[in-house]
């Protein structure tokens, strides 16, 4: 790290700005926002600075810079267009150990101005240590897009209630309370500008937290479990809420389908527990259930992170039954299910006005028993997506054919959808199993059946391996 980021308190402190042009004016704006008493040393002032001087928002010394001007200054900014003047300011300030910034000259500066997002009292500062201010500004824009517009109002709302929460909740319960609060209804209402509703929800949540912590048997109170859908694999396809709760989790229980790139977005010091299981391993599911309940009872915030969406072949339904029976609070954060990831990744619209009026998500395991209505799945004008179907592929094809599906019906296999190694194979139904065997398709992969799978190739898009098999 080339610079230590710190926030400087300048309220009522003296700040000296050397230079009277528009670059100086921008620095003056920030210094005034921070509450500094600004003095500008420059023979002449730009119109903007003249207006501020006329309104007595700043003091103007209409002289060339002299080291004596530094007396009493807490910070100095050199923003003149004369390199020698700027160098002289830098030298004089450093001799007196006054922090100095020379605009566009990191080598003459002891501090630099970051790119700033101001949602006071929340302030975000981004710096590239002078290497690329344009890149720093781009990063600022990306962060800015993530932050609610009324974030500052929320921070003030919470700040006004800190002392009260401090009085009524024990330290262990406090952090849990605040973390729940900022993702709950009170925060949503404060962000929406409805302070009265926010206050009502806040009072409710505080009452709840008080009775919870007086009932809790363990010292740290009851934790909670979030069932989080991690999406099909590309970390950029996490929802904003999944990112927010991953930042708060104490423990993360994650599956085989969750890549490292997604775990990297979680809280740094969260404990990670791999609970991936081979399909149909009931003992492992029991262990997962016990872990979730045990950790939550010990006061932990547990993120149960699953590929895709928890409620699409993710056993989320079974897990919430267990949590509800154990009296553990839980919340569910939806994720992009593999079928939607594959559709976008392989240019396969799942429905289409001409070609498909419905889409069905089917578990490939079900091909092993007789629970599916194969005649319904074999009809035209629909799309059928088989999950977990790689091992069952020949059997699925045989069942569909037997139920009346055409041998030349277009199908696609999408392997590792949305991941860097994504592969798309297109073929007629009759030959897809042979193609998959030849190409050694491996899990995770989806089989998508229906006319829509030929659409992208018809439109000249998305070349696919084995389009003619």
CA-wise closest residue to 189 among 161, 214, 153, 222 = 153
Output the smallest distance, CB 307 to ligand SAH, in A.
5
Whether 255 is a known active-site residue: answer yes
Query: Between the CA atoms of 323, 327, 329 and 334, what dihedral angle is there, to the nearest 10 degrees?
Result: 30
CA distance 50 to 35: 19
Give the residue, chosen from 314, 334, 410, 450, that forms a contact with ligand SAH under the rule CB under 6 A.
314
Distance (Å, whole) CA 367 – CA 334: 27
Q: Which of residues 27-56 bind ligand SAH (CB under 6 A)?
A: none
Three-point CA angle 72, 10, 148, nearest 5°: 165
Output the smallest distance, CB 260 to ligand SAH, in A.
Answer: 14
Sequence-distant (6+) residues with CB within 8 A of 124 are: 116, 117, 140, 143, 144, 147
Report the nearest approach of ligand SAH to the CB of residue 234 (Å): 8
- Of 238-267, binders to ligand SAH (CB under 6 A) are 257
Given 223, 233, 334, 450, the residue binding ligand SAH (CB under 6 A): 233
Is residue 443 a contact point for ligand SAH (CB under 6 A)? yes
Q: CA angle, corner 230, sides to 414 and 436, nearest 5?
A: 15
The tokens for 61 are: 């010394």
Indicate the residue among 20 and 364 with the shorter CB distance to ligand SAH. Answer: 364
Site track 149-188 with ligand SAH (rule: CB under 6 A), x = hit:
----------------------------------------
Residue closer to ligand SAH (CB basis): 114 or 334: 334
Binding mask 395-424 for ligand SAH (x = CB under 6 A): -------------------x-xxxx-----
302 forms beta bridges with 225, 251
* Count, residues near ligand SAH per rule CB under 6 A: 25
- Residue 40 pairs in a beta bridge with 17, 60
Q: Is 114 in the site for ligand SAH (CB under 6 A)?
A: no
- Residue carrying structure tokens 């319960």: 173
- Kindly state the smallest distance separating residue 443's Cβ from ligand SAH, in Å: 5
Distance CA 69, CA 263 (A): 53
Asked if 221 touches ligand SAH (CB under 6 A), the answer is no
With respect to ligand SAH, which residue has the nearer C-beta, 42 or 414? 414
> How far is residue 278 from each of residues 98, 228, 281, 369, measured CA to CA in Å?
63, 20, 6, 19
332-351: which residues touch ligand SAH (CB under 6 A)? 337-338, 341-342
Q: How far is the CB of 447 from ligand SAH (least distance, A)?
A: 8
Contacts of 382 (CB under 8 A, 6+ apart): 356, 357, 358, 359, 360, 450
| Shortest Cβ 82–ligand SAH spacing (Å) | 59
Q: Is 433 in the site for ligand SAH (CB under 6 A)?
A: no
Nearest residue to ligand SAH on Cβ basis: 308
In 111-268, alpha helices (H): 133-146, 151-159, 162-168, 171-183, 185-191, 195-215, 240-246, 260-263
Beta carbon of residue 391, minimum distance to ligand SAH (angstroms, whole number)? 9
Q: Which of 234, 250, 255, 309 is catalytic?
A: 255
Is 277 marked active-site? yes
Q: Please select the residue that binds ligand SAH; options are 38, 176, 312, 397, rule is CB under 6 A.
A: 312
Query: DSSP code of 91?
Result: H
Choosing from 221, 299, 308, 466, the residue that interacts with ligand SAH (CB under 6 A) is 308
- Distance (Å, whole) CA 416 – CA 234: 10
Catalytic residues, which ones?
255, 277
Residues in contact with ligand SAH by CB under 6 A are 232-233, 257, 306-309, 312-314, 337-338, 341-342, 387-388, 414, 416-419, 443-446
């Amino acid at each position: 790290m080339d610079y230590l980021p710190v926030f400087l308190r300048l309220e009522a402190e003296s700040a000296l700005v050397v230079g009277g042009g528009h670059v100086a004016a921008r620095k003056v704006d920030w210094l005034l926002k921070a509450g500094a008493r600004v003095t500008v040393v420059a023979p002449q002032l730009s119109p903007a600075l003249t207006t501020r001087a006329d309104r007595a928002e700043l003091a103007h010394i209409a002289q060339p810079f002299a080291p004596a001007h530094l007396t009493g200054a807490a910070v100095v900014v050199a923003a003149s267009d004369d390199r020698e003047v700027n160098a002289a300011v830098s030298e004089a300030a450093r001799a007196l150990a006054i922090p100095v910034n020379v605009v566009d000259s990191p080598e003459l500066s002891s501090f630099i101005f970051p790119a700033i997002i101001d949602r006071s009292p929340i302030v975000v500062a981004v710096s590239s240590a002078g290497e690329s201010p344009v890149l720093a500004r781009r990063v600022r824009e990306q962060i800015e897009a993530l932050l609610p517009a009324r974030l500052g109002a929320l921070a003030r709302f919470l700040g006004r209630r800190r002392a009260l929460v401090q009085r009524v909740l024990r330290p262990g319960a406090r952090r849990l309370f605040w973390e729940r609060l900022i993702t709950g209804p009170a925060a949503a209402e404060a962000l929406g500008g409805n302070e009265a509703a926010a206050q009502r929800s806040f009072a409710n949540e505080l009452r709840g937290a008080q009775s919870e912590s007086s009932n809790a048997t363990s010292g740290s109170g009851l934790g909670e479990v979030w069932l989080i859908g991690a999406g099909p694999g590309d970390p950029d396809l996490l929802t904003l809420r999944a990112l927010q709760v991953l930042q708060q989790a104490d423990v993360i229980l994650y599956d085989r389908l969750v890549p490292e790139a997604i775990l990297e977005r979680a809280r740094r010091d969260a404990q990670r527990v791999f609970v991936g299981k081979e399909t149909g391993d009931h003992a492992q599911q029991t262990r997962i259930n016990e872990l979730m309940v045990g950790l939550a009872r010990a006061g932990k915030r547990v993120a149960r992170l699953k590929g895709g969406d928890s409620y699409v072949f993710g056993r989320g339904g079974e897990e919430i039954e267990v949590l509800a029976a154990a009296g553990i609070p839980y919340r569910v954060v939806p994720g992009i299910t593999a079928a939607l990831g594959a559709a976008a990744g392989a240019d396969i619209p799942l429905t289409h006005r001409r070609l498909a009026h419905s889409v069905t998500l089917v578990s490939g395991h079900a091909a092993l028993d007789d629970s599916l209505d194969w005649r319904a799945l074999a009809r035209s004008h629909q799309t059928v997506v088989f999950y977990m179907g790689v091992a069952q592929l020949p059997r699925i094809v045989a069942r569909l054919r037997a139920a009346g599906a055409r041998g030349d019906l277009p199908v696609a296999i999408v392997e590792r959808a949305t991941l860097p190694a994504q592969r798309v194979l297109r073929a007629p139904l009759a030959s897809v199993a042979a193609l998959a065997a030849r190409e050694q398709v491996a899990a995770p992969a989806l089989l998508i059946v229906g006319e829509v799978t030929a659409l992208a190739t018809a439109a000249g898009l998305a070349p696919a391996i084995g389009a003619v098999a």
